[in-house]
Amino acid sequence: MLQISPKPFRSILILQTKFIGDIVLSSTLARNLQLEYPGVRIVFLCEARLASFVTAHGIASEVVTFRRAAMRGTPLERGRELYSMISKLRQFRFDLTIDLTDSKTSRIIVRFLNVRTRIGYNPSERPLRWHERQPANLFARPFGFGEQHYLYRYLSPLEPLGVPLRVRAPSIRPLPLETARAQALLDRHRLRPNDFIAVHAGASFHGRRWQPERFAAVIDTIARETGLDFVLVGGPDERKPAEQILAHAASPIVNLVGALSLETLLAVLQQARLFVGNESGPMHMAAAAGTPVVGLYGLTSPAVWGPVGVPSLALQPSMPCNCVAGSLCNPLDPSKACCVWRLEVEPVVAAVRQVLSRTQVELEHAV
């Protein structure tokens, strides 16, 4: 077995090529490494659109980026993008790589880097085929520290390094400039901090989006009962569900979908009284910003992917699911299942009421 040198690591590459929610969760790994190795240089390999968020909030010192579209293109396009990534990474002198992505591509990248200590998972999330080789020489358990949440998959590389777990939940606070931008935006729409609920109705797959008319029903009920305002958030490709919510809701709603950078979105979410939305990256961003969460889940288990570190409730229909989507749904793949459609309005309204009530005393003390 590889012997870990007592000399601290000075330059670490973390391969985390996935989505903003994964970046948020894996920021906790980076924070623990920064505490263990003061002054360490941490570099993230991630998609280009996530780069400024990662460096601006101190998750990593630097990033090496790739274009997801190119990696999904022709073999020639994939080859060029892979060559470009490896060329950039070889300019660094890493003494440790941590492969959180755990994919065929990430293993290829690690093989081409001359790094002494290389952490991977044993067993891999997807079993290696006969022709694939695991380049890691130090192994992390799939889920470390005796926990099943995916956060602990990203924290488990600390175990083989012998690094104590000092930080257990993501905590990402917005930059002062972004807080000022968010405040100016809220002022423009006559919204006050802690007096509105942020709603995210988007998701990567249509079947993971709770029905817009049901979001509208929740908004109307809670707005009538509490007087709180509502703000819709999301990316440019999530405008359609937002427009459908606006069409069904009787309450006035501020629509910021497609209008915010990730950095400004974090600042807006921190100002919210509550976040309500589908299981998604913005949900994890809201929790990391310290905002209470009501999360809506389908086939994905809240025990594995639920919000952490804040008061929250995660709702999921009873399982096994009686399929409501026919051929659209893949019942074996949480990323392509439509089970969230079976959630009714009233349980979501009740969850919103409960989290608002539970956090009211905290809010009053803060004021």
Q: What is the mean pLDDT of residues 28-39?
A: 97
Residue 367 has pLDDT above 70, yes or no: no
Poorest-pLDDT segment among 73-87, 253-267, 284-298: 73-87
Which segments within 18-89 are labelled E, that is strand?
41-47, 62-66
Q: Is 37 left (phi over 0), alpha (psi -120 to 50) or beta?
A: beta
pLDDT at 330: 79
pLDDT at 366: 57
pLDDT at 329: 81
Comparing 239 with 133, which gets the higher pLDDT?
A: 239
pLDDT at 325: 75
Question: What DSSP element (H or E) covers 246?
Answer: helix 239-248
Residue 133 has pLDDT above 90, yes or no: no
The percentage of the chain sitting over the pLDDT mark of 70, rounded to a whole number, equals 96
Comparing 96 with 125, which gets the higher pLDDT?
A: 96
Residue 6 has pLDDT above 60, yes or no: no
> Which residue(s) pair with 295 in the sheet?
277, 314
Which segments within 166-211 are labelled E, that is strand?
196-200
Q: Which two tokens stand for residue 45?
A: 């390999």
Contact present, 113 and 13 (Cβ < 8 Å): yes
pLDDT at 163: 96
Q: Which amino acid is at 125?
A: E
> Which residue(s) pair with 274 in the sheet?
197
Residue 254 has pLDDT above 60, yes or no: yes
Residue 296 has pLDDT above 70, yes or no: yes
Q: What confidence category does residue 5 fall into, taking pLDDT thresholds of 50, 70 and 90?
A: low
Q: What is the mean pLDDT of residues 74-91?
A: 93
Spatial strand order of the sheet with 293-296 comes to 254-255, 229-232, 196-200, 274-278, 293-296, 312-315
Residue 259 has pLDDT above 70, yes or no: yes
pLDDT at 8: 83
Residue 157 has pLDDT above 90, yes or no: yes
Q: Which residues contact 180 (CB under 8 A, 6 or more apart)?
A: none
Q: What is the mean pLDDT of residues 271-287?
A: 97
Q: What confidence category does residue 364 fall into, taking pLDDT thresholds of 50, 70 and 90?
A: low
Residue 34 has pLDDT above 70, yes or no: yes
Please work out, in degrees rounded to the nearest 5, the angle formed at the alpha carbon of residue 363 by the alpha carbons of 361 and 365.
Answer: 70
CA nearest to 248, candidates 219, 199, 213? 213
> What's 212-243 look like in SS3?
HHHHHHHHHHHHHHHCCEEEECCCHHHHHHHH
Residue 111 has pLDDT above 60, yes or no: yes
pLDDT at 195: 97
Q: How many CB atoms lie within 10 A of CB 84?
A: 15
Q: What is the mean pLDDT of residues 71-93?
A: 93
Poorest-pLDDT segment among 4-8, 173-177, 201-205, 240-244: 4-8
Q: Which two tokens stand for residue 306?
A: 């639920």
CA nearest to 163, candidates 58, 28, 15? 28
Contact present, 159 and 141 (Cβ < 8 Å): yes
The percentage of the chain sitting over the pLDDT mark of 90, rounded to a whole number, equals 80
